[in-house]
Amino acid sequence: MWKKISRALAIAIVMASISVVSLANARFSAAAARQPHDYISLTQRQKRLAWRDLHKQAIHQYGVPWFTAIDRWILPPEITTKRVNRRAARDVPALRGYNFAIVKGVLLIVNPTDHAVAAVIAPGRRIG
């Protein structure tokens, strides 16, 4: 009888361990999916919302005449970025964890780890 109880207990412990490991892996992969990347794809609606939520709070910068905003380019150190605010992150969840800057009237979504331009949003123009 003790063998049956100990076997059942051993099986229960193994199953609980598997569940804990699976849960930890799911949380780790979900956190990794939220990490900023060097490219982000936004719909036109998301771009409009991002512009609306971020352009008034940005530091408008014009002092780097040679810089052209292109996806995946690294920002020069002269350009200052700010963290995406809560409203923009709520309206466009893909922006969570990113920084932003406005350079020459163009909104740049920036990966904060390597300062690569992840998206370029220009007002009044369709950018695909």
Instruction: Convert the pLDDT of each residue in 47-65 to its tens digit.
Output: 999 999 998 887 787 777 7
The number of domains in the chain is: 2
pLDDT tens profile 63-98: 777 777 777 788 888 889 999 999 999 999 999 999
Identify whether residues 23 and 64 lie together within a single domain: no
Whether the pTM exceeds 0.75: the reply is: no
pLDDT band at 28 (very low <50, low <70, confident <90, very high): very low
- Domain residues for 2? 1-33
Write the DSSP symbol of residue 8.
Answer: H
Sort 85 into a burial class: Cβ within 10 Å, 0-12 / 13-18 / 19+: middle
What is the rounded distance in angstroms from the CA atom of residue 64 to the CA atom of residue 118? Answer: 19
One domain for residues 25 and 71: no
Is 104 in the same domain as 67?
yes
- Overall residue count recorded for the chain in this entry: 128
Residues 58 and 110 in one domain: yes
